[in-house]
Amino acid sequence: MDLFVKAKSVRLRSYKDKYLIAEEDRENINQTRDGSSKNAIWIVELVDQKECIRLRSCFGTYLTASNIPFIPGVSGKKVIQTLAIQFDRETQWEPLRDGMQVRLRSSWGNFLRPNRSLPPWRNSVTHDVPHLSQTRVKLLWDVEVVEKRHVHRRTQSDTTFIRSRSRSTSTSMSSQNQNSTKLEHFF
């Protein structure tokens, strides 16, 4: 979670060095080797009082774990883009850190999974539960921070600076008042 708390926007790269992208049809999610396009950038939204995030695309749509089978009879479910009029569980992802990488777990308990192989699997993204220990590695995503979140926390030095500044301001204000009083008496 700490990788996302500090990030305003990110790119997610799979174990095959492909980036998670939002397709321009504003419905499908895929992978591509070109991480420089705007479609590969995801805005990070923190979910209040939960260890979850939402990922918003450049189109204003959200990365969503659907309950629609990717292929009938196969366990993987489609990952799609949706407009979140009311935020629901399907748009929430729980980041589970593994070294410098993360697994993203959906509200269904499945993990965001990049697929490869022949069509229709090629470059597709689903959410699924890993069945083999080798599959766990395939669920890892590198998080590339595009823009950092500006979080300013007050430090002891900030507080000291504010106090000293307010003292100097009040001291200068009182000396100005004394000077104006002296001038009034002069005239």
> Is the pLDDT assigned to residue 13 strictly greater than 90?
yes
Q: Given pLDDT bands bounded at 50, 70 and 90, which one contains residue 181?
A: very low
**CB hemisphere CA count around 75 (13 angstroms):** 10
The pLDDT value recorded for residue 74 is: 81
Name the pTM for this structure. 0.76
Q: Is the dihedral of CA 146, 97, 105, 53 positive or negative?
A: negative
If one counts every other C-beta atom within 10 angstroms of the C-beta of residue 28, the result is: 15
Please tell me the predicted confidence (pLDDT) of residue 156.
55
CATH number of 2-148: 2.80.10.50
Average pLDDT over residues 45-74: 91
Digit-coded pLDDT (tens) for 118-176: 778 889 999 988 776 667 778 999 999 999 987 655 555 444 444 444 444 444 445 55
pLDDT digits (tens, 9 = 90+) for 25-35: 999 999 999 99
| φ and ψ of 80, to 5 deg | -130, 180
**pLDDT tens-place string over residues 80-132:** 999 976 668 899 999 999 988 999 999 889 999 998 877 788 899 999 887 76
What pLDDT does residue 131 have?
73
Question: Which one-letter amino acid corresponds to residue 157?
Answer: S
Minimal CA–CA distance to 42: which of 51, 29, 132? 29
Look at residue 28 in the predicted model and tell me its pLDDT: 96
CB count within 10 Å of CB 10 equals 23
Per-residue pLDDT, 178: 52
Q: What is the pLDDT of residue 37?
A: 94
pLDDT at residue 65 above 60?
yes
User: What is the average pLDDT across 49-72?
Assistant: 92
